[in-house]
């Protein structure tokens, strides 16, 4: 069985920044309320006519460049998104064409804020079984298009953005891994992925529209308190599941790279797991909750600023509407 390596990453945020103060000028909220409840200071909002596929394309191109991989050698493109350009075709196919990918296949994965973990898991499965060699995994969202901008309980929480990684087949012992890494799992790559969903909780977080129900796009609706409660419990549990599956301990984690929904959820999960703040990548203040884009965005920011280094053990985790949740352990 092969091992999947993440060989590079990239991200893109739309130019326009909307600060908490700007929101406070249009709805009944304050910078203090948003910051203390969520840790969010600003969000990026796509320009008129700038679509999810445009964001995905830019992040995908940057990830390919960072990996030194030509688009023509990508076998599979998986786009995690809840905000596709159109109901169909899959937005991934538009990105496939624009990025210059001439072989293989492209499709979308829909698991809302857990979308990137789900897409990474699909990529890992294709690579491990030898069906695909090189996979471009992108998370991209224009959540600003499905927000009710008069609903202060949701509109302050989300933003637009995209992040991407290139996953490539390897055997896990690249770069003299045995010299560089200690612990039970020597070698680079995705050690395992763990996915969950529980459809009993669809009513906690959903969009009140869609092609089959209302023939309109709809807006995000959420029971924030209940989502919060489920998030901390489910995330801590799936992190332990990933560690157990690899005979690793919480203290072996080099960096926790969580879905950037909300600082209080991230703090709560870190505290429950006993992971110190110094080992948690936190970027939600800069871009708010970008759903499926948030993990590759946070990853890219922390790789580029030098915090995450080759050989570090990363724990990626997310929870989102569905409810869906998942985690992945990665030796960077
Ligand atoms: N500005 C000012 N006041 C607000 C705002 C706002 N933007 N939004 C809500 N309020 C008010 C409410 O109306 C309420 O007022 P009331 O007491 O007069 O009725 C008061 O603030 C308290 O509201 P709560 O909902 O109890 O506030 P809470 O402390 O639970 O914080 C929050 C709300 C931030 C949404 C929290 O529940 C949360 O973080 N939930 C997780 C939600 C989340 O992150 N979802 C993202 C998708 S899922 C995921 O990615 C994991």
pLDDT tens digit sequence for 133-174: 999 999 999 999 999 999 999 999 999 999 999 999 987 665
Residues 6 or more apart whose Cβ sits within 8 Å of residue 135: 4, 74, 75, 76, 77, 78, 123, 126, 127, 166, 167, 168
Q: Which atom of ligand 1 is nearest to the CA of 259?
A: 50
Q: Which residues are catalytic?
A: 113, 259, 289
Q: For 308-314, what is the mean pLDDT? A: 95
Q: How far from each other are the two terminal CA atoms of the chain, in whole angstroms?
A: 19
Q: For 177, how many CA atoms within 13 A lie in the half-sphere containing its CB? A: 18
- Residue 159, burial from CB neighbour count under 10 angstroms (0-12, 13-18, 19+): buried
Residue percentage of the chain with pLDDT more than 90: 92
Q: Supply the pTM of this predicted model.
A: 0.95
Q: Whose CA is nearest to atom 26 of ligand 1?
A: 225
Residues 6 or more apart whose Cβ sits within 8 Å of residue 46: 14, 16, 54, 55, 142, 144, 145, 160
Longest distance between any two alpha carbons in the chain, whole Å: 58
CA of 29 to the centre of ligand 1 (A): 11
pLDDT at 44: 98
Alpha-helix runs per DSSP H in 69-171? 91-99, 115-128, 152-155
Residue 295 scores a pLDDT above 60 = yes
Q: Whose CA is nearest to atom 22 of ligand 1?
A: 153
CA of 252 to the centre of ligand 1 (A): 34
CA of 87 to the centre of ligand 1 (A): 30
Q: Rounded to whole angstroms, what are the CA distances from 284 to 83, 158, 295?
A: 19, 10, 10
pLDDT at 179: 41
Residues with Cβ within 6 A of ligand 1? 29, 33-34, 37-38, 113, 152-153, 156-157, 205, 222, 224-225, 227-228, 231, 259, 261-262, 264-265, 289, 319-320
Tokens of 313: 């053990």
pLDDT at 91: 98
Q: CB atoms < 10 A from the CB of 1, how many?
A: 8
Q: Which domains does the chain have, with CATH numbers?
A: 2-173 (3.40.47.10), 186-331 (3.40.47.10)
Q: For 172-188, what is the mean pLDDT? A: 53
Quick one: DSSP state of residue 46? Answer: P
Residue 240 scores a pLDDT above 50 = yes
Query: How far apart are the C-alpha atoms of 264 and 118, rounded to whole Å?
Result: 23
């Amino acid at each position: 069985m092969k091992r999947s390596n993440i060989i590079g990453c990239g991200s893109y945020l739309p130019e326009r920044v909307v600060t908490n103060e700007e929101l406070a000028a249009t709805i009944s909220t304050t910078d203090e309320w948003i910051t203390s409840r969520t840790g969010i200071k600003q969000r990026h909002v796509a320009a008129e006519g700038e679509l999810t596929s445009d964001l995905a394309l830019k992040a995908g191109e940057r990830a390919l460049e960072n990996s030194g991989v030509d688009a023509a050698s990508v076998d599979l493109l998986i786009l995690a998104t809840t905000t596709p350009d159109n109901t169909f075709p899959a937005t991934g196919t538009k990105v496939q064409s624009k990025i210059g990918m001439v072989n293989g296949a492209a499709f979308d994965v829909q698991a809302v804020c857990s979308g990137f973990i789900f897409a990474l898991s699909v990529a890992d499965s294709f690579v491990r079984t030898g069906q695909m060699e090189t996979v471009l995994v992108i998370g991209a969202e224009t959540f600003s298009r499905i927000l009710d901008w008069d609903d202060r309980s949701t509109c302050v929480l989300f933003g637009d953005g995209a992040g991407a990684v290139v996953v490539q087949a390897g055997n896990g012992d690249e770069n003299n891994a045995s010299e560089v890494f200690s612990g039970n799992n020597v070698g680079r790559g995705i050690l395992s992925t763990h996915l969950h969903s529980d459809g009993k909780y669809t009513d906690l977080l959903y969009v009140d529209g869609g092609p089959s129900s209302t023939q309109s796009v709809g807006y995000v609706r959420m029971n924030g308190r209940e989502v919060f409660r489920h998030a901390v419990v489910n995330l801590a549990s799936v992190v332990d599941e990933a560690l157990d599956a690899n005979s690793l301990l919480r203290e072996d984690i080099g960096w926790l790279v969580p879905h950037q929904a909300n600082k209080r959820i991230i703090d709560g999960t870190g505290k429950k797991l006993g992971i110190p703040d110094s080992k948690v990548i936190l970027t939600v203040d800069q871009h708010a909750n970008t759903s499926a884009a948030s993990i590759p965005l946070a990853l890219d920011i922390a790789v580029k600023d030098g915090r995450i280094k080759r050989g570090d053990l990363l724990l990626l985790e997310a929870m989102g509407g569905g409810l869906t949740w998942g985690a992945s352990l990665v030796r960077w």
